Amino acid sequence: MKTYERLLLENKAWAKGKVDGDPEYFHRLSQLQTPEFLWIGCSDSRVPANEITNTQPGEIFVHRNVANMVVHTDVNLLSVLDFAVSHLKVKHVIVCGHYGCGGIKAAMTNHDYKQVLNMWLRNIKDVYRLHRTELDACPDEESKFDRLVELNVKEQVMHLVKTSIIQRAWKNEQRPDIHGWVYGLKDGIINPVFEMKAGTHIDPLYEYDDL
Ligand code: CO
């Protein structure tokens, strides 16, 4: 059996298991999705949103990219954000990074990853530059790496709040709260590192006053 054929076989077994436990399961899910959460996570195969939070299909709307970035020119991310916030009306947005993130590690080097990856990783280098004093004071490379993972999550939360999508929802509907979390590959535990409740004020430079 080819490796990908195993996935199709497992899918059949999974679907059968779901229907055996609840004959209406797929019918109900096919009618409507009302997730309470938007998850912006890393593409890393070891950090699957549903599995590590023990949630089911229908509970979390998911966007993943390398190093869980919120880049203002990323139409993909912004479309997901707008749909989740303005239409699905999620109550919480979670940016979840993870210790040991390869994207963060790569951004800490001076290696040329060629154009597209260089472009993406430059956004992480900008986070480093913003927090250079704190990061350069870390006692060793490992703690610096861990701290950059945490600070990157914090900055991506801030990037979300700079969008009119979030600011409009905060003004009109007092949601969503935005959470910055970091998952530990070594212990499976999520560490909440930063939070911005709906309505929190940020640098006025970024606040729209005519939403
Ligand atoms: Co990663």
CATH number at residue 185: 3.40.1050.10
Q: From ligand 1's centre to the CA of 195, what distance in Å?
A: 20
Q: Are residues 158 and 64 in the same domain?
A: yes
Q: Are residues 78 and 149 in the same domain?
A: yes
Of 96, 101, 146, 179, catalytic: 101
Q: What's the rounded mean pLDDT across residues 168-194? A: 98
Q: Are residues 54 and 82 in the same domain?
A: yes
Q: From ligand 1's centre to the CA of 16, what distance in Å?
A: 33
In a domain, 211, yes or no: no
Nearest to 149 by CA among 38, 40, 42, 39: 42
Question: Is 138 an annotated catalytic residue?
Answer: no
CA distances from residue 105 to 100, 102, 145, 151 in whole angstroms, order as listed: 7, 5, 7, 13
Cα atoms in the Cβ-side hemisphere of radius 13 Å centred on 39: 23
CA distances from residue 10 to 2, 6, 72 in whole angstroms, order as listed: 13, 6, 38
In a domain, 208, yes or no: no
Q: From ligand 1's centre to the CA of 42, what distance in Å?
A: 5
Q: Are residues 24 and 75 in the same domain?
A: no
Of 6, 27, 28, 46, catalytic: 46
Q: From ligand 1's centre to the CA of 183, what distance in Å?
A: 10
Question: Is 98 an annotated catalytic residue?
Answer: yes
Residue-wise over 71-106: b if at least 16 C-beta within 10 A, else e?
eeebeebbebbbebbeeeebebbbbbbbbbbebbbb
Q: From ligand 1's centre to the CA of 99, what distance in Å?
A: 8
Q: How many domains does the chain have?
A: 2
In a domain, 97, yes or no: yes
| 32, pLDDT greater than 90 | no
Q: Are residues 4 and 71 in the same domain?
A: no
| 202, pLDDT greater than 90 | yes
Q: Are residues 150 and 95 in the same domain?
A: yes
Predicted confidence band at 88 (pLDDT cuts at 50, 70, 90)?
A: very high
Q: Are residues 27 and 67 in the same domain?
A: no
Enter the pTM of the model.
0.96
Q: What's the rounded mean pLDDT across residues 117-136? A: 98
In a domain, 26, yes or no: yes
Q: From ligand 1's centre to the CA of 147, what distance in Å?
A: 14
In a domain, 206, yes or no: no
Q: Are residues 19 and 92 in the same domain?
A: no
Residue-range definition of the domain harbouring residue 124: 34-200
In a domain, 194, yes or no: yes
Q: Are residues 80 and 178 in the same domain?
A: yes
Question: Is 101 an annotated catalytic residue?
Answer: yes
Q: What's the rounded mean pLDDT across residues 11-17? A: 98
